[in-house]
Structure 1
Amino acid sequence: MVKLAAKCILAEFFIFDSAGKELFSEMLDKLWESPNVLCLVYDVTNEQSFSNCGKWLEKARAQIPGTSLPGVLVGNKTDLASRRAVDPEQARAWALSQGLECFEISVKEMDNYEAPFHCLATQFLHLYREKVGLFQSLV
């Protein structure tokens, strides 16, 4: 007879930063076999960085086809308001259409920089609890 015990299940929350560079694209394929949550960051003063978020989202979702991938879209450098190139409402609408939460931050000014990480941790914890519940229902 085999007895299963699942008193303690560990979860690890890793964050990989590709800096949006193609150079890291191949490396990421090896690092993120099946991501749980996603954080896409763009520069609010750079329209191309915002456009690239769609490509990175597709790449991440390709790792886990048929599964939703929660996460956040983060616009950084709000301290450079006079150079803004990405409309916040456009970014918010795109994020919501992709099932992502949306934040704007300024790391330089330390404005709202913690909010996306709290959201990601909450999303990860929710997924973790779902998986633990599923596992416990099987035991």
Structure 2
Amino acid sequence: MEFGFIILISIAVAALLKAFIGVIISSKYKTNLPPGPFNVPLIGNLRWLLKSFTEIEPILRNLHSKLGPVFTLYVGPRPAIFIADRSLAHKALVQNGAIFADRPPPLPTWKIISSNQHDITSASYGTTWRVFRRNLSAEILHPLSCEILQARPQMGS
């Protein structure tokens, strides 16, 4: 009984330390982000995940009217930036697409899973990603390769 209590207390202390360090680290990056609703550390805006998809659009429209055309919502610990104006979205995604094309730095466990970001879904935008994309489109998704895959006889047919 005492051993289980010690384990429970140590887990609680570790969770509190992680939350405290997360608040300190995230306070550095909050200054560069657009405004958003109040965020509870460690949980983020978990209430957005509890809503159904039909309820999300009115909430986003309400936040657009309160906070402006660009705002930040935390989904769990990660920030998600919403652009609700067509001209700003065009500027961000088309005119300045290369600036916003990169991915956020991965967590250490994701580096292990993705072979240190050496696959097309997790590679940083640049020469490595372009080579992966070129190989994918030229070799795997080439129309002749797709025809060969479709022409193979099915097993058991």
TM category, shorter: under 0.3
TM-score by length of structure 1 reads 0.24
Which of 1 and 2 has higher RCO (CA within 8 Å, sep 6+)? 1
Report which of the two structures shows the higher radius of gyration computed on alpha carbons: 2
Greater fraction of residues in strand? 1
Greater fraction of residues in helix? 2
TM-score by length of structure 2 reads 0.22
